[in-house]
Amino acid sequence: MNMAMEAIQDTVDTVDTAIAPNPERTRLEDLQVQRGEILVPAAPVVENLPLGAAQTSSGRISAVRFLDEPVEKLPFDKDDLIRLDDALTFGTRTTGVKFTIYLGELGDNANDRAFDLLDSLDDPDHSALIAVSPGERKIEVVSGAGVVGKVGDRICQLGVTAAVPAFREGKLIDGLVAAVKVMSAAARPVGH
C-alpha cells in the first residue's frame, strides 16, 4: 500500500458516531445510528504514470495533453459533422422518417446485423438505417415497418447507389450525405 492510501486508511479506519439521547425527544425521534467501520476499497495502483497524469480515487487515469503534442486525427472534422447533421435533420423533418447512420463492423451477415441495429433504435418502425462498414467495404440500408411505404426496398437501393461512388473515392461523409439526401428526396410526397 502506498503512502497516500495509508493516510486515507488511517483517517477512515474506524468511525465511531454516537449521539447522546436528548431527554426532550421521545424515543421515536431519537436518531438511529450504527457504529462501525467505513471501508474504502482501493483501486489497483498504476505505477509509472507519465508526466501530467494522475490516478483518481476511482482508479481512472486523468491526464493532460501538452499543447505542442499532435492530436490524432478524428474521423470527421466539425464541418463534415455539420453537413451530416444538416442532411439527417432535413431528411427527418421533410419525410417523418428518422434517418440514422451506423459506422462499424457488420460481420458476415450484414443484412441481419443492419436489422438488429435498426431494432435497437428508440423508434425502429419509423426509422431508416444506413449501416456502413468501411473496413469490410459493406453498406446496408434498411427501414422499419412503419415507413416501408415511404422508404421501401427501391428507395433503400437508391441510397446505396448514391453513396457508393463517393465511398469508392474514399469520401465517407460525401457518400453518407448523398445517401440521406437522395433517400429523403425520394421519400417526400410530390409537391414538397
Residue 122 placed within a domain:
yes
Please tell me whether residues 18 and 112 are part of one structural domain: no
Does residue 143 sit in helix, strand or coil? strand
Please tell me whether residues 88 and 169 are part of one structural domain: yes
Which of the given ranges, 22-31, 79-88, 108-117, has the highest pLDDT on average?
Answer: 108-117
Please tell me whether residues 101 and 44 are part of one structural domain: no
| pLDDT number for residue 173 | 95
- Convert the pLDDT of each residue in 53-92 to its tens digit: 777 665 667 677 666 666 666 678 889 988 998 999 899 8
Residue 73 placed within a domain:
no
Please tell me whether residues 92 and 58 are part of one structural domain: no
Please tell me whether residues 88 and 26 are part of one structural domain: no
Structural domain of 41:
1-68
Tell me the helix, strand and coil percentages in the chain, rounded to 5. 40, 15, 45
Q: With pLDDT > 70 as the criterion, what percentage of the chain qualifies?
A: 66
Task: Give the pLDDT band (50/70/90) at residue 118.
Answer: very high
Cβ neighbour number for residue 49 with a 10 Å cutoff: 13
- Convert the pLDDT of each residue in 139-192 to its tens digit: 999 999 999 999 999 999 999 999 999 999 999 999 999 999 999 999 976 555
Residues paired with 139 in a beta bridge? 132
Does residue 128 sit in helix, strand or coil? strand
Tell me how far apart the alpha carbons of residues 27 and 148 are, in angstroms, rounded to a whole number.
Answer: 68
Residue 1 placed within a domain:
yes
Please tell me whether residues 130 and 159 are part of one structural domain: yes
Please tell me whether residues 108 and 181 are part of one structural domain: yes
Q: Which residues contact 54 (CB under 8 A, 6 or more apart)?
A: 61, 62, 63
- Number of independent structural domains in the chain: 2
Please tell me whether residues 11 and 62 are part of one structural domain: yes
The type of residue at 192 is H
Please tell me whether residues 21 and 105 are part of one structural domain: no
Q: Which residues contact 122 (CB under 8 A, 6 or more apart)?
A: none
